[in-house]
Amino acid sequence: MDWYDYTRAIRNTVSHNFRLVFSRYKPEHFPITWRGISLTADLDGKAITFESFWHKSGYELFVAMREFAEVLPE
């Protein structure tokens, strides 16, 4: 899904004190982009901001993941 890499990075950020941690990503993975929001390698170690994850984008991400999950077989 187009949101997978972005979602993984956000989940890891929330798990690491709200700091972007890219130490396990290879340089060719960047930028990580979803719906016009880009996470670049130079953000490594920096705190997440409203520019990379905020109420609207967070809700839109939730909806996209929920739509994906709803079509999965039980």
pLDDT tens readout for residues 24-61: 888 888 999 999 999 999 999 999 988 888 889 899 99
For residue 66, pLDDT over 90 is answered with yes
Which residues lie below 8 Å from residue 67, measured CB to CB, with a gap of 6+? none
Task: Give the pLDDT score at 65.
Answer: 94
Task: Give the pLDDT score at 15.
Answer: 87
pTM of the model: 0.83
Handedness of CA 25, 55, 36, 42 (dihedral sign): negative
Task: Give the pLDDT score at 73.
Answer: 92
Looking at residue 14, what DSSP letter applies? Answer: H
